[in-house]
Amino acid sequence: MQKQKGFIQIILPVLVLLIIAGFGAYYYFVIKPGKILPVNTSVATEYQADYKNAAANVSSVSSASDINTVSKDLDGTDINQIDTELESLSLDALSF
């Protein structure tokens, strides 16, 4: 008896290699650890240093207790402070 030869012996290894290459590319470009934060070019140049410092000082959330801590920080944030500052700037602008 003669062995049957077909394309599956060629297609299957090539398909497996393509899948492995796809996962490798996905890891490298999407979930590669230690990515450097990009500079946001929409932020004015005089605020770039503040933007970089703020991005560096943000703590990562990796557990439920971290989420609770962040939630408490957000709950304690005074959102009326922004309104007070905007009203002050508005009054200053009216004086011109």
Length of the chain: 96
With a CB cutoff of 8 Å and minimum separation 6, the contacts of 37 are: 52, 55, 56
Specify if 1 maps to a domain: no
CA atoms of 7 and 64, how far apart (whole Å): 51
Q: Six-digit token pair at 83?
A: 């309104």
Specify if 72 maps to a domain: yes
CA atoms of 75 and 69, how far apart (whole Å): 10
| Residue-range definition of the domain harbouring residue 84 | 62-96
Choose from 28-37, 48-57, 68-77 the range with maximum mean pLDDT. Answer: 68-77
pLDDT at 14: 93
Do 49 and 75 have their domain in common? no
CA end-to-end span of the chain, whole Å? 99
Residue 37 pLDDT exceeds 80: no
pLDDT at 7: 75
Specify if 19 maps to a domain: yes
Specify if 45 maps to a domain: yes
